[in-house]
Amino acid sequence: MDSANLYREESFTDRRIGSIQRLVPVKTDGTDDDARSDLYIGQTQVLTPAGALPLSFEIDAQTLDEAIGKFGDGAKEALAGTMQKLEEMRREQASSIIVPGAGGAPPPGGGLKVP
């Protein structure tokens, strides 16, 4: 573990929409490290035809109240980014499909004709 990068985790949830995790920086003796700022991570899930899609995103906030206020916008941005990545993956998969007879490699035989 990186002893200079330790955090205590605290979770807050409304038990409906999602949760916010506050990461409080601590020193190796467990006391708060006031030289570093708290981090806020939002977590929720979106139901899709394929099932639940978990979303996790950092919230730029200084307080829990501010993190709660920015939760919705953060979730929307995370969903948009995830959908963009999924679309890119879909395109990559579609372009890697090999279609018989669609050209590509020359026919077998190397162009030799047998009399």
Confidence of residue 103 (pLDDT cuts 50, 70, 90): low
Confidence of residue 113 (pLDDT cuts 50, 70, 90): low
Q: How many CB atoms lie within 10 A of CB 68?
A: 16
Specify the pLDDT at position 107: 58
Answer yes or no: is pLDDT of 108 > 70.
no
Answer yes or no: is pLDDT of 26 > 60.
yes
Going from N- to C-terminal start, the domains of the chain cover 6-87
Burial of 64 (0-12, 13-18, 19+ CB in 10 A): middle
Cβ atoms of 75 and 59 closer than 8 Å:
no
pLDDT tens per residue across span 38-74: 999 999 999 989 899 999 999 999 999 999 999 999 9
**Distance of alpha carbon 44 from alpha carbon 72, whole angstroms:** 10
For the residues of 27-47, what is the DSSP string, one character each?
-TTSSB-TTS--EEEEEEEEE
- pTM of structure: 0.76
Sign for the CA dihedral angle at 94, 51, 55, 71 comes to: positive
